[in-house]
Amino acid sequence: MSGGSRSAGFECRSSSLVHYGSGFPEPGPPTGHTFRVCGDWVYLGFRTDGQMPDPNPIAAEQASALERRLAIDPEDEQIRAQLLRYYWEHKMEEQRIPLVLWLIDHHPESPLHGSETASIFPNRFLDRPGDPENFADAKKRWWAQVSEHPQDAQVLSNAARVLGEGDIRAEIDLRKRAESVDPERSSKPLAQLYSDVLVEEGEVGPTRNVFGNPFRNTELAAQIRSELQTSDDIELVGMTAFYMVELAVRKAGGHEGGSWDFAVLRTIATELIKHAEMLDPQNQHVLDVMGGSDGRWSDLMGGVKGLPGATVQR
């Protein structure tokens, strides 16, 4: 969670939505259609373009020509994106960082901020660059943009994605603010974030990630559970339940790694599903939340019942 990247392994961090319908699958890889909004800003985490081969690689001479063109027209975002990826792949951080900082200062609303290659991280991780001083600079600039654009959901979402690398509570706060401004596009990432925190409550064994930061945050999870228990936002409650069950099913199938206390996950998921049923007894919002399902909230219990009955060590 905080301090690490939630982008590893994803080209777009939007969770895949499984069409459960009236029969929830047994624990295993999700099947059915997926719902992703990779071309927009409505997702959690970063597009991992830095971990993928560049489909249109450029040579050093081409990069030099693009640099000259960008100096003339710094508003050309396509050129900026090309150079950011080139600098990333060639580990040219002294050239890449100024391009990112300019983008924060001049276009905090840009979808380009969702790309790994257009972001600044607090720590190195595998091949991903990171530097605490550069991150502190970017963080300061992002908070300035949040203050300047308090009602711009896209700016708030972009800021949340970056600032969440070092402060999960800041990310949650910004995601909530974005959702209050634009619930249609901002509820899903907030629900995904909530489900991540709640599922980590079922983790057993090692509780720190590669950066030495704790995965599990019991106090924060308790606050989220309390908030959702008293919430009348059926889409937020329903989507959090949906994403949580999806994650639990994946973990039961061994697709997420780690060791999990499924009794804990069962309890939290059941609690959310029952609250969704109470808020929406006619199942009128199931279609919106489940990405095409025409079932009922109780269908999610099929996934819960399919989970192991005890702790699974892997």
What is the structure's pLDDT at 256? 67
User: How high is the pLDDT of residue 25?
Assistant: 35
User: Quick one: pLDDT at residue 307?
Assistant: 87
57 by Cβ neighbours in 10 Å (0-12 / 13-18 / 19+) ranks as exposed
- Predicted pLDDT at 129: 86
Q: How would you write the pLDDT of the chain (314 residues) with one tens digit per residue?
A: 443 444 433 333 333 333 333 333 333 333 222 223 333 434 567 787 777 888 889 999 999 999 999 999 999 999 999 999 999 999 999 999 999 999 999 999 999 999 999 999 988 776 778 899 999 999 999 999 999 999 999 999 999 999 988 889 999 999 999 999 999 889 999 999 999 889 887 777 555 444 444 567 888 999 999 999 999 999 999 999 999 999 888 888 877 667 788 888 899 999 999 999 999 999 888 887 876 656 888 889 988 988 887 676 55
Give the Cβ contact number of residue 282 at 10 Å: 7
Angle, CA of 273, 279 and 284, to the nearest 5°:
90
pLDDT given at position 52: 81
Cβ pair 171, 146 in contact under 8 A: no
- Determine the pLDDT at residue 242: 93
The pLDDT of residue 207 is 52
pLDDT in the model for residue 309:
75
Contact 303, 273 (CB under 8 A): no
